[in-house]
Structure 1
Amino acid sequence: MPQALQDLSAEVHRQLALLSYPRGAWVPPAAADVLDVAIIGGGQAGLTTAFALRRQSVTNVAILDRAPPGQTGVWTNFARMRTLRTPKHVSGPDLGVPALTPEAYFSARDGADAWEALPKIGREDWQRYLDWVQATLDLPVRHGHELLGIGHDPATDLLHLRVGTAAGEITVKARKCVLATGMDGMGQWSIPAPFDTLPAACVSHTSGPVDFAGLAGKRVLVVGAGASAFDNLATALESGAAAGIMLVRRPRMPRVNPFRWMEQAGFLGQFHAMPDAMKWRMMRKIFDLNQPPPPASWDRVKDDPRFSLFMGAPTTAARMEGAEIVVETPNGTHRCDHVIVGTGTAFDLTLRPELDGLSDKILLWRDVYTPPPGQEWPALGACPYLEKTFALREKTPGAAPALRHLHLINYGATPSMGLSGASISGLKYGVARLSDGICQALWVDDAQAHMDSLLDYDEWELTAPIPQELPLAAE
Structure 2
Amino acid sequence: MSITELSRRVRRELTYLGYPSREWTCARTLDGVPAVDVLIVGGGQSGLGTAFGLQREQITNIRIIDRNPRGREGPWRRFARMTTLRTPKDVDGIDFGIPSLTARAWYEAQFGRDAWERMQRLPQEVWRDYLDWYRDVLGLNVENEVELMSVEPSGDLLVAHLLRAGRTERVPARKIVLATGFDGSGRPRLPQALIANLSKQHYAHSSDEIDFSRLRGKRIGILGVGASAFDNAGTALEAGAARVDLCFRRAAIPRVNPLIWMNFAGLLGYFGDLPDLERWRFMRHILEDLPVPPTQESVWRCRRHAQFAWHGDSQWSAARPGADGVEVTANGRTFQFDFIIFATGFDTDLTARPELGPIVDHIALWRDRFEPPAGERSELLGRHPYLGPAFEFTERTPGAAPFVRRLHQFTFGAMPSQGLTGAAIPGLKRGLRRLVQGLARDLFCEDAAHYYEDLRAYAQPELETLDTEFDWLTNLGTQAMQPNSLLQEFTREILATLGDEAARQDHPAGLMTRRRAPIKPVALPVKSKKKPTKPRLRAK
TM-score normalised per structure 2: 0.83
Q: Tell me the SS of whatever aligns to 2:268.
A: helix
Structure-2 change in CA distance of 1:275 and 1:397 (3 Å): closer
Conservation of the 8 A alpha-carbon contact between 1:45 and 1:422: no
User: What residue ranges of structure 1 are gaps of 5+ in the alignment?
Assistant: 468-475
Contact 2:178–2:407 (Cα < 8 Å) also in 1:
yes
Counterpart amino acid of residue 23 in structure 2:
A
Contact 1:44–1:421, Cα closer than 8 Å, also in 2:
no
- Secondary structure of 2:455's counterpart equals helix
Residue 28 (structure 1) aligned to one of 26, 29, 34: 26
> What amino acid does structure 1 have at the position aligned with 2:15?
A
Question: Do 2:89 and 2:120's aligned partners in 1 also have CA atoms closer than 8 Å?
Answer: yes
Q: Aligned equivalents of 1:225 and 1:435: distance in 2?
A: 36
- Match for residue 119 of structure 1? 120
Q: Could you report, residue by residue, the CA deviation over 1:88-139 in whole angstroms, capped at 9, with x for unpaired residues?
A: 0001110111100000000001000001111111111111100100000001
Per the alignment, residue 74 of structure 1 pairs with 75
Q: Could you tell me whether the CA contact under 8 Å between 2:194 and 2:317 is conserved in 1?
A: no
- Give the counterpart letter for 2:404 in structure 1: L
Q: CA deviation at 1:55?
A: 0.6
Amino acid paired to 2:186: G
Give me the whole-angstrom Cα distance separating, in 1, the residues matched to 2:238 and 2:373.
Answer: 46
Residue identity in the other structure for 1:176: K
3-state SS in 1 of match to 2:422: coil
> How far has the Cα of 1:316 moved from its partner?
1.5
Q: Which residue of 2 aligns with 1:473?
A: none
**Whole-angstrom distance in 1 between the partners of 2:311 and 2:5:** 53
Q: Deviations over 1:449-472 (max 9, x none)?
A: 0111122222222344299xxxxx
Any idea what the Cα deviations from partners look like across 1:116-173, whole Å, max 9, x if unmatched?
111111111111100100000001211111000012212xx22111101015111111
Q: List aligned pairs for 1:53-132, cutoff 5 A.
A: 53-132=54-133
The 8 Å contact of residues 66 and 144 in structure 1, kept in 2 or not, is answered as yes
**Structure 1 equivalent of residue 172 of structure 2:** 173
1:428-461 superposed Cα distances (whole Å, 9 cap, x missing partner): 1001000011111101111110111122222222
Aligned partner of 2:337 in structure 1 is: 336
Q: Distance in 2 between matches of 1:323 and 1:39?
A: 48
Q: In the aligned structure 1, how far is the partner of 2:375 from the partner of 2:255?
A: 22
Letter in 1 for 2:16: L
Q: Is the 1:163–1:169 Cα contact (8 Å) retained in structure 2?
A: yes
SS at 1:316's partner residue?
A: strand
Q: What is the letter of the counterpart of residue 172 of structure 2?
A: K
How far is the alpha carbon of 1:376 from its aligned partner?
2.6
| Higher RCO (CA < 8 A, seq sep 6+) | 1
Q: Deviations over 1:167-190 (max 9, x none)?
A: 511111111100001110011114
Q: Secondary structure at the match of 1:304?
A: coil
1:394-430 deviation line (CA, Å, top 9, x unaligned)? 1123443431110110111111111123311111100
Matched-pair contact (CA < 8 Å) for 1:392–1:408: yes
Match of 1:16 in 2: 14
| Bigger mean CA offset, 27-36 vs 157-166 | 27-36
Whether the aligned pair in 1 keeps the contact of 2:245 and 2:309 (CA below 8 Å) is yes
Alignment of 1:190-269 (within 5 A): 190-197=189-196, 198-269=198-269
Note the residue ranges of structure 2 that are not aligned, 5 or more in a row: 469-540
Per-residue deviation at 1:323? Answer: 3.9
**C-alpha separation in 2, matches of 1:37 and 1:139:** 14
Query: How big is the shift at 1:319?
Result: 1.6
Report the more deviating stretch, 326-335 or 251-260.
326-335
Q: CA deviation at 1:219?
A: 0.9
Aligned to 2:294: 293
Compared CA separation, residues 373 and 241, structure 1 to 2 (3 A): farther
In 2, Cα distance between the equivalents of 1:134 and 1:250?
42
Please give the per-residue CA displacement for 1:170-213, whole angstroms capped at 9, x wherever unaligned.
11111110000111001111421332211211111101122211
1:282 matched to 2:287? The reply is no
Q: Quick check: which has more Rg, 1 or 2?
A: 2
Q: Secondary structure of the equivalent of 2:214? A: helix
1:319-334 matches, within 5 Å, as 319-334=320-335
Counterpart AA for 1:105: W
1:331 deviates by: 4.9
- Displacement of 1:322 in angstroms is 2.3
Contact 1:53–1:435 (8 Å) recurs in 2:
yes
User: Partners of 2:376 and 2:312 in 1: how far apart?
Assistant: 25
How many pairs were matched up?
A: 463
Q: Distance in 1 between matches of 2:62 and 2:44?
A: 15
Return the offset for 1:33. 2.7
1:350: which partner in 2? 351
C-alpha contact (below 8 Å) 2:316/2:328 kept by paired residues? yes
Q: Does 1:396 align with 2:397?
A: yes
Are positions 1:455 and 2:476 aligned together?
no
CA drift of 1:30 comes to 3.9
Q: Hey, what's the Cα distance between the residues in 2 that align with 1:397 and 1:300?
A: 51
Tell me what 1:385 maps to: 386
Q: How many Å separate the matches in 1 of 2:4 and 2:328?
A: 55
User: Partners in 1 of 2:8 and 2:401 — Cα distance?
Assistant: 46
Which is worse superposed, 182-191 or 31-40?
31-40
Q: Secondary structure at the match of 2:301?
A: helix
Question: Hey, what's the Cα distance between the residues in 2 that align with 1:359 and 1:203?
Answer: 31
Distance 2:150 2:141 in 1: 21
One-letter amino acid of the counterpart of residue 114, structure 2: D
Query: Contact conserved, 2:237 with 2:243, CA < 8 A, in 1?
Result: yes
Is contact 1:224-1:248 (8 Å) kept? yes
> Which deviates further from its counterpart, 372-381 or 111-120?
372-381
8 Å CA contact 1:73–1:182 kept in 2: the answer is yes
The amino acid across from 2:391 in the alignment is: F
1:195–1:203: 8 Å Cα contact kept in structure 2?
no
- The CA distance in 1 between the partners of 2:399 and 2:371, in whole Å, is 24
